[in-house]
Every structure is written in structure tokens, then in C-alpha cells.
Amino acid sequence: MLVLSRKVNEVIQIADNIEIRILEVKGDTVRIGIEAPKSIEILRGELVQSITETNQEALTIDMDLLKQLMKKE
């Protein structure tokens, strides 16, 4: 992993179209501004993790329940 130290208002440039700016550091919270093309997906890491876990959980399917549903409808 590349590790860089930055001060407030300093920028990290990624390729020629992504710019990450440190806006504010307050306690243990860092506010970051990101400029990137609209086609680049930007998501909070814990949200992606939550979707991943929900997908994995969704694979566990109770076959009895499924059979009941098929009869019910």
C-alpha cells in the first residue's frame, strides 16, 4: 500500500482525472473531497462490506421454507 502524509487543503492526484483533497481534520474525523468522472463509483467501504455480507447471508436458503412458499402461492 502506498502511504502519503497530507495537510489540510493538500491534494492527491490519481491518474489524470481523480483528485482527492483533504478538507478538514477534526479529532478522529477527516473530511475528504473527491473530484472524479461521474462514471467512477465512489462508496463508503463499510456500505460495500454490508452489501457483501447480506449477499453471502442470502445464499443460505431454507429449502423447507421454499417448498412451503411454492405450495402457498
> What is the smallest separation between the CB atom of 10 and another protein, expressed in angstroms?
26
Using CB under 8 A as the binding rule, whether residue 41 contacts another protein is answered as yes
User: Roughly how many angstroms between the first and final C-alpha of the chain, as a whole number?
Assistant: 53
What is the distance between the alpha carbons of residues 22 and 43, in angstroms, rounded to a whole number? 17
- Asked if residue 11 lies in contact with residue 21, where contact means CB atoms within 8 angstroms, the answer is yes
When the beta carbons of 5 and 39 are compared against another protein, the nearer one is 39
Q: Which stretch binds another protein (CB under 8 A): 2-10, 17-25, 27-35, 39-47?
A: 39-47
Contacts of 65 (CB under 8 A, 6+ apart): none
Contact set with another protein (CB under 8 A): 38-41, 43-44, 47-48, 50-59, 61-62, 64-66, 68-71, 73
